Structure 1
Amino acid sequence: MTEHIRLDLPLLLPTIPNEADRCVERLLAELTERDGVAEAHVIAALGDEPAKLCVHYDPEKVGLAQIRKAARAAGAALTARFGHLVWQVEGIEQERRARTVGETLSRLEGVFEAQATASGALRVEFDRSLIDEARVSSALASLGVGRRDSDMSATADLAASDVPAAAPHPVLADKQAPDHGEDADHSHEGGEGAGHAHGGIFGSNTELYFALISGVTLAVGFALSWTGAAPEAISTALYLAAYFFGGFFTVREAIDSLKLRRFEIDTLMLVAAAGAAALGEFAEGALLLFLFSLGHALEHYAMGRAKKAIEALAELAPQTAVVRRGSTTEEIPVEALVIGEIVVVKPNERLPADGFVIEGTSSVNQAPVTGESVPVDKQPVPDAAAAAAAADSVAATSRIFAGTINGSGALAIQVTRLASETTLAKVVKMVSEAETQKSPTQRFTDRFERIFVPLVLGLVVILLFAGAVIDEPFSATFYRAMAVLVAASPCALAIATPSAVLSGVARAARGGVLVKGGGPLENLGGLSAIAFDKTGTLTEGRPRVTDVVVAAGATEQELLQTAVAVEAHSDHPLAAAIVRDGTERLNGLPQKATDLKSITGRGVEAVVDGQLVHIGRDELFAEAGGTPLPQEVKASADELRAQGRTIMIIRQGARYLGVIGLMDTPRETAPATTARLRELGITRMIMLSGDATPVAKAVAASVGIEDAWGDLMPEDKVEAIKKLRTEEGKVAMVGDGVNDAPALATATVGIAMGAAGSDVALETADVALMADDLAKLPFAVDLSRRTRRIIRQNVFVSMGVVAVLLPATILGLGIGPAVIAHEGSTLIVVFNALRLLAFREVPFIRQERIAEERTA
């Protein structure tokens, strides 16, 4: 029976009762709907203790990553007491070793979850009040595992002091602010594990050298025995040497597994080799350990190729930067850069930091971060002080990312993020963390192994008594039982899924798509329904004023002056469009507005010239009271809506001034993208929008989507996703990762557009399209489907080999052929998975042709 764990996590919740109620309700609803969560409730704050989230969950089905995601979407934050670290380590040679390391750390007091991978990624969730990073490092050292030097020099150290004090329900001044207590903790302290970071006397290749030495001593011993050129004792001594070198790492892993009271594949192999020695078959036992260790070493080498694809991301940013200070420049390490400094970048150099252009023009190759195939033209911001005050709002034509490549022009960049907080640094950290998130198939195979291995041992015990049924000497019966041990060991199964997930995540990152683990990678490829946000996803997100309809008794000048005055204080995209386009039409200066208040989902109100002004949709005026909406104004609004416009009605005091119509331009790539998604098997696509239903339907039709749901508030989008999940089973949501955070968290797979530079998008989504390019979505879906196919192929091969070898060895197949087939299957699944690194996306020119053909 699967164990359910109770976990109490300190929370930060808003103080406003209504907000708190909504946050709590959303948080609990999101969690209890997760497969594997038995119960979730919030324990109220008591005295100095903050509110606590109590979750009863099955760690085999759901993890703390999903709990953190739900908390963020609900506007809550887990406090700094809940530690979350991601390290790169050395000393983990293969997947079974990684599993042992993870389970050993999981048994430490204060550790909630621990996962390690064969690529050297380690993720630990822990309670800072019970255990610290030094204790984790010490535990790793006892296993011969240590942090890499490059990881120990990282500077992203987010201490507990970075988090607001845990007062009862403290106000979150900005719900989009990063939750420092959850970020990866790259401590500078190497701990005792630092001395174990090289894998043995031959460095990281020690296992391979030991395997080769085992093979050489085996070959020499066999040659001497076959030719009779030396006494048999010498051959036996050489076979024993082969045993030592071939079984060195296997013995270490078997001992660690037995400490955890778990029988692993390594244990089975050792028993088989010891059995062969007991029968005097030293040559076959040595051959078994030689091939087994060689297979592990080659597996380690092959997995290293995928690992290097990820490590290459971290090496994109330069180590130094040229800083302009006064009239001079000097070169300093990128770690020493501070926010606000001016960095000078020469032509064809890599950019050392995130920031914005203040001088110079150039084309920048952003492919290393966003996956964009065409360089992006960059120009200076019009106002550096304003840009520094709102760095996240800087236009894409001026924003710069560390690790990208400058073109032919020199640039001066103002730094907006520390080296440890750049978009590239966060991508590297999140990709490393993604490796540790198990996919559904991997969870299944892990559970299968735990049941299958003891069954194999039981079968072997039964086979040892075969002499009571058939007439054969015990030596033959014992040999057969040892051969069955080799044949039934599911080595290939253990690596089948992790190798594919690692390769898939690495390939996606190289293409500008951040996939946060095996779960989203598998789920994305298994979907048949996708919901899209409208603004900024299917459209450009840059609406323009198309119509100005003046009410009786008002003038266009009066209407625009009032609208521009009010909307100048709002940061909504529609407000920006009214200010930009309205100002161009004005003959004079706009009026001054004060006391701006936002009415969520309806509009805004402010005071202009001593009178209360309301700007928004029809519903706003029914809620605000006052003079009812005149029939002629309503008719004008309805007509504009029927043409696909978003409308804004303006009322000053008791007088209606008129209607402004706006339209957001659909993305040029949207029709081709939806056509390609249908070709990939996405049978249902829905657009969700806060705009009126006619507007939503008009935009949806223009991009090839038949189903559009309009008039949706943010909470309505969450309900829409829940409805779709009920109808379709699994559904993805594509949005901008800010306003759509709750809906992204509710979907089976949340996909954020234009995540580069956006903390909220990177943290909330399961899949992040780094570029603001919808065309990357088919690439992500196609890669996911290819990954699912390779995982199925690998599982079929690994299980198929066991299914064939098991009866074959029972019927007399020897240990030698069995171990060759056994290790061969392991290498087949690893190299099959590596094919994902060479995956090529369908050229978008072909996608456009597909869209044209469908239109025709």
Structure 2
Amino acid sequence: MNLTTELELPVILPGVSRDDSCVQRLVAGLQDMEGVSRVHIREGSDEALGTLCIHYDPEIVSLQRVREVAASVGIELGDRYGHLFLELGSAVHARKARTIAAQVQAVPGVIEATTSPAGGISIEYERAKTGEAELRAKLEALGVAQEPPSPRGDLKDQHEGHDHKDRQDPGHSHGGTLGGNSELIFSLACGLLLIVGFAIEKLGLTQTPWIPTAFYVAAYVFGGWFTLGEAIGNIKLKRFEIDTLMLVAAAGAAALGAWAEGALLLFLFSLGHALEHYAMGRAKRAIEALAKLAPETARVLRNGQVVEVQVESLIPGDVVVVRPNDRMPADGFVIKGASSVDQAPVTGESIPVDKLAVNDAALARDRPDSVVMESRVFAGTINGSGALEVEVTRRSGESALARVVKMVSEAETRKSPTQRFTDKFERVFVPAVLILAVLLLFSWIVIDEPFRDSFYRAMAVLVAASPCALAIATPSAVLAGIARAARGGVLIKGGAPLEELGMVRAIAFDKTGTLTEGKPRITDIKVMQGTTEQELLHVAVAVEALSDHPLAAAIVRDGNTRLGDGPVMVATDLANFAGRGVQAKVNGIDVWIGKAEMFGNDGIGALSAGAESAIEELRNAGRTTMAVRLGDRDLGVIGLMDTPRPEAREALDKLRRLGIQRMIMISGDHQTVAQAVATDVGLNEAWGNLMPDDKVKAIRQLKETERVAMVGDGVNDAPAMASASVGIAMGA
């Protein structure tokens, strides 16, 4: 009989991604153990990096021995292999980044080096052969600035000597006389010169044959300027790419007198690379925008005084003061005060969450991960109307927001199987074609023919062997698809996402702001006997008009719409019961509006049976409830919910008709709320209570069986979108 034990990967391999090759080495090492029948990775319930599942026979090997061996193998792997992720500080374009990765991978001991579109480099190496210091020195020798992933992405120190305006890109390149758009300008100049030369030649605007040729030669210079430099660097590294073949093919076309065709080829390739560079800049700015959700400074209590410090200097145990409407500077728990906190940027919850102080600060300090959500706060979330004192539990680089940034950055460095195959194919195909061309160049020695004929044949084979049809047809098809999508309001980053979209068979949707409008609305009103809806709304609107809570704003907005024009009641003497509700006076009579938990405590009478029944019914339907009491009489209950977009159901029906076989909602909201919205829009599956790392696990689970797209609109969705086959950002 086999038993199963589960071990958390972060415990065995600290700091190693679930997709890292060390995990596969761990699995392989344990699989060979006597008495172990199967080892695999299962998504963990608490950790973003998953769980190791070991099936073993207790009659052959004990549980203690299995755990000892797993720990031993993990320590051995940790001692043998190192992992380093750095951000390339300068605005390095995509081809340069690939060349840098190739040069780093050539360092003895480096197993793999990959780069992301956002300018990050991920390196796996053997500690016995090289180390972090040597790798950093190598990057410095290559003229590349590097830095650890920043929790904020604040680049102001990288650009001393001038200021950036609010709308400037802090990650821009200072190199080159034409700035960061040099490659795009050169590409457009190549295209313009090509068009002019072609027009002169075909329209017979001159009798001098060398004039159109001069324009073609100039187009060659502009189109091949950047590619030539990269090709020379790659050849020195014995690295062959299609670009190298394209350059040689363009030279061959010129040798055959086909100047226009060669210039067209260089224009298409240079334009493609320029757009790739632009997309890389967009990716860098997107990740920087994620990091900048956290504030730069925090107000810390030191010796009874409030001192403003940089968030990077915060350490666990510091107490920060968070003023109303400020962003949380760090992860932690509330030790004093009460407020509602908008967690949508991190968790995706559509309605602000009420936060209260912990009952036992010492226990929370010893076990910060066990603190209830009602007292936990996250960096980057937005405080409501109450002041809070928060004890920091993680440094800025270890916060939930920093983990989101890191997950996105690392996900973009992972190559797909298709990318890996293409890289291997290029390394074999390009030199093979070049060698064949050289052999044909000397065929006149074997065949009795002039050297001119052998040269012509070698050039013809070189041009024919180059993937010119793909080089021309593929960019044209991609550009046509991207342009058509843009006219419909969809911006596609390039050909790879476009290709992946055609193979997607499952789509995961975020709830808040994607399938819903992103703001609460009144959906239900349950009135008690002897009360009218108008009376309840008049009282509720009058009281909530004095409050700045998001739910109060929803009640006032929708309540006024339902009431229409007419006399308005006036409330006075507002008092807040933080996290529970409010009290005020209307016409001298006390009014209470709040959660069910507010009633029956602190001298406030309990709710009637009818009101409690209405609250239970609405909560089961996924509504947020607010009970309304006037004097000693319960007027009724208001149900609020982030309502679905009117067009959501129709859009999902169209996707089904297009062949999408499975659609799932994944949300940070409560399961009942997520299920209620899913039912409204026609989805059968809804997964709620998901933090950003939980969404990543959900996407990986879906990817095990099919290609999946992730649709979202918030920071909390970014890691899941980066992990999906295709990420789709609403309103980006």
- What is the TM-score with the length of structure 1 in the denominator? 0.45
What one-letter code is carried by the residue in structure 2 that aligns with 1:837?
I
Shift of 1:353: 0.5
Partner residue, 1:87: 86
Shift of 1:326: 4.0
Q: Which of 168, 190, 210 is matched with 1:214 structurally?
A: 190
Q: CA RMSD in A?
A: 6.2
User: How far apart, CA to CA, are the structure 1 residues paired with 2:704 and 2:352?
Assistant: 24
Where in structure 2 are the equivalents of 1:599-614 lying within 5 Å?
Answer: none
What one-letter code is carried by the residue in structure 2 that aligns with 1:84?
H
User: How far apart, CA to CA, are the structure 2 residues paired with 1:483 and 1:144?
Assistant: 35
Q: Which of 331, 342, 346 is matched with 1:369 structurally?
A: 346
Q: Which of 785, 790, 795 is matched with 2:708 structurally?
A: 785
Shift of 1:416: 1.0
1:113 and 1:125 in contact (8 A); partners too: yes
Secondary structure of the corresponding residue to residue 728 of structure 2: helix
User: How far apart, CA to CA, are the structure 1 residues paired with 2:177 and 2:140?
Assistant: 16
Where in structure 2 are the equivalents of 1:316-715 lying within 5 Å?
Answer: 316-450=293-427, 452-453=429-430, 481=461, 483-484=463-464, 485-488=466-469
Offset from partner CA, 1:590-616 (integer Å, 9 cap, x none): xxxxxxxxxxxxxxxxxxxxxxxxxxx
1:224 and 1:230 in contact (8 A); partners too: no
Secondary structure of the corresponding residue to residue 129 of structure 2: coil
1:348 and 1:405 in contact (8 A); partners too: yes
Secondary structure of the corresponding residue to residue 345 of structure 2: helix
User: How far apart, CA to CA, are the structure 2 residues paired with 1:463 and 1:366?
Assistant: 67
Partner residue, 1:767: 696
User: How far apart, CA to CA, are the structure 1 residues paired with 2:439 and 2:26?
Assistant: 40
What one-letter code is carried by the residue in structure 1 that aligns with 2:103?
T
User: How far apart, CA to CA, are the structure 2 residues paired with 1:350 and 1:766?
Assistant: 23
User: How far apart, CA to CA, are the structure 2 residues paired with 1:277 and 1:198?
Assistant: 35
What one-letter code is carried by the residue in structure 1 that aligns with 2:184?
L
User: How far apart, CA to CA, are the structure 1 residues paired with 2:474 and 2:415?
Assistant: 14
* Distance of aligned partners of 1:283 and 1:461 in 2 relative to their CA distance in 1, 3 Å threshold: same
Shift of 1:448: 4.5
Partner residue, 1:312: 289
Partner residue, 1:295: 272
Where in structure 2 are the equivalents of 1:723-734 lying within 5 Å?
Answer: none
Secondary structure of the corresponding residue to residue 122 of structure 2: strand
What one-letter code is carried by the residue in structure 2 that aligns with 1:334?
V
Shift of 1:318: 0.9
Offset from partner CA, 1:552-592 (integer Å, 9 cap, x none): xxxxxxxxxxxxxxxxxxxxxxxxxxxxxxxxxxxxxxxxx
User: How far apart, CA to CA, are the structure 2 residues paired with 1:494 and 1:101?
Assistant: 25
Query: Are 1:261 and 2:238 counterparts?
Result: yes
Offset from partner CA, 1:725-745 (integer Å, 9 cap, x none): xxxxxxxxx9xxxxxxxxxxx
2:707 and 2:725 in contact (8 A); partners too: no
Secondary structure of the corresponding residue to residue 708 of structure 2: helix
Shift of 1:268: 1.3
User: How far apart, CA to CA, are the structure 1 residues paired with 2:50 and 2:111?
Assistant: 16
Q: Which of 838, 845, 848 is matched with 2:729 structurally?
A: 838
User: How far apart, CA to CA, are the structure 2 residues paired with 1:440 and 1:460?
Assistant: 30
Secondary structure of the corresponding residue to residue 786 of structure 1: strand
* Distance of aligned partners of 1:754 and 1:329 in 2 relative to their CA distance in 1, 3 Å threshold: same
Shift of 1:292: 1.7
Shift of 1:97: 4.6
Partner residue, 1:137: 136
Shift of 1:453: 4.4
Unaligned runs of 5+ in 1: 1-18, 43-67, 156-194, 501-517, 529-664, 670-675, 684-701, 704-733, 735-750, 757-761, 770-775, 789-832, 841-856
User: How far apart, CA to CA, are the structure 2 residues paired with 1:288 and 1:237?
Assistant: 17
Shift of 1:393: 0.8
Partner residue, 1:113: 112
1:84 and 1:125 in contact (8 A); partners too: yes
User: How far apart, CA to CA, are the structure 1 residues paired with 2:399 and 2:245?
Assistant: 47
1:345 and 1:411 in contact (8 A); partners too: yes
User: How far apart, CA to CA, are the structure 2 residues paired with 1:23 and 1:288?
Assistant: 52
User: How far apart, CA to CA, are the structure 1 residues paired with 2:119 and 2:323?
Assistant: 36
What one-letter code is carried by the residue in structure 1 that aligns with 2:696?
V
Query: Are 1:147 and 2:146 counterparts?
Result: yes
Secondary structure of the corresponding residue to residue 250 of structure 2: helix
Partner residue, 1:724: none
User: How far apart, CA to CA, are the structure 1 residues paired with 2:438 and 2:285?
Assistant: 43
2:322 and 2:387 in contact (8 A); partners too: yes
* Distance of aligned partners of 1:755 and 1:835 in 2 relative to their CA distance in 1, 3 Å threshold: closer
* Distance of aligned partners of 1:96 and 1:466 in 2 relative to their CA distance in 1, 3 Å threshold: farther
* Distance of aligned partners of 1:149 and 1:244 in 2 relative to their CA distance in 1, 3 Å threshold: farther
2:378 and 2:401 in contact (8 A); partners too: yes
User: How far apart, CA to CA, are the structure 1 residues paired with 2:725 and 2:25?
Assistant: 34
Shift of 1:299: 2.4
Partner residue, 1:797: none
What one-letter code is carried by the residue in structure 2 that aligns with 1:316?
L
User: How far apart, CA to CA, are the structure 1 residues paired with 2:12 and 2:474?
Assistant: 37
Shift of 1:109: 1.2
Shift of 1:397: 0.8
Where in structure 2 are the equivalents of 1:227-266 lying within 5 Å?
Answer: 239-266=216-243
* Distance of aligned partners of 1:125 and 1:753 in 2 relative to their CA distance in 1, 3 Å threshold: farther
Shift of 1:313: 1.2
Shift of 1:781: 10
User: How far apart, CA to CA, are the structure 1 residues paired with 2:123 and 2:216?
Assistant: 42
Shift of 1:92: 7.5
1:453 and 1:489 in contact (8 A); partners too: no
Shift of 1:259: 3.0
* Distance of aligned partners of 1:295 and 1:409 in 2 relative to their CA distance in 1, 3 Å threshold: same
Partner residue, 1:125: 124
1:154 and 1:420 in contact (8 A); partners too: no
* Distance of aligned partners of 1:366 and 1:273 in 2 relative to their CA distance in 1, 3 Å threshold: same
What one-letter code is carried by the residue in structure 2 that aligns with 1:89?
L
Secondary structure of the corresponding residue to residue 369 of structure 1: coil
* Distance of aligned partners of 1:431 and 1:487 in 2 relative to their CA distance in 1, 3 Å threshold: same
* Distance of aligned partners of 1:237 and 1:778 in 2 relative to their CA distance in 1, 3 Å threshold: same
Shift of 1:440: 3.3
What one-letter code is carried by the residue in structure 1 that aligns with 2:180?
S
User: How far apart, CA to CA, are the structure 1 residues paired with 2:293 and 2:220?
Assistant: 43
Secondary structure of the corresponding residue to residue 250 of structure 1: helix
User: How far apart, CA to CA, are the structure 2 residues paired with 1:152 and 1:496?
Assistant: 39
User: How far apart, CA to CA, are the structure 1 residues paired with 2:26 and 2:701?
Assistant: 35
* Distance of aligned partners of 1:27 and 1:424 in 2 relative to their CA distance in 1, 3 Å threshold: closer
* Distance of aligned partners of 1:316 and 1:779 in 2 relative to their CA distance in 1, 3 Å threshold: farther
Which one is further off, 777-786 or 443-452? Answer: 777-786
2:183 and 2:270 in contact (8 A); partners too: yes
* Distance of aligned partners of 1:263 and 1:408 in 2 relative to their CA distance in 1, 3 Å threshold: same
User: How far apart, CA to CA, are the structure 1 residues paired with 2:390 and 2:432?
Assistant: 63
Partner residue, 1:102: 101
- What is the TM-score with the length of structure 2 in the denominator? 0.52
* Distance of aligned partners of 1:376 and 1:148 in 2 relative to their CA distance in 1, 3 Å threshold: same
Secondary structure of the corresponding residue to residue 709 of structure 2: helix
What one-letter code is carried by the residue in structure 1 that aligns with 2:181?
N
What one-letter code is carried by the residue in structure 1 that aligns with 2:394?
R
User: How far apart, CA to CA, are the structure 2 residues paired with 1:388 and 1:375?
Assistant: 25
Secondary structure of the corresponding residue to residue 88 of structure 1: strand
Offset from partner CA, 1:643-665 (integer Å, 9 cap, x none): xxxxxxxxxxxxxxxxxxxxxx9
User: How far apart, CA to CA, are the structure 2 residues paired with 1:404 and 1:196?
Assistant: 28
Shift of 1:404: 1.2
Secondary structure of the corresponding residue to residue 767 of structure 1: helix
What one-letter code is carried by the residue in structure 1 that aligns with 2:346?
V
What one-letter code is carried by the residue in structure 2 that aligns with 1:269?
M
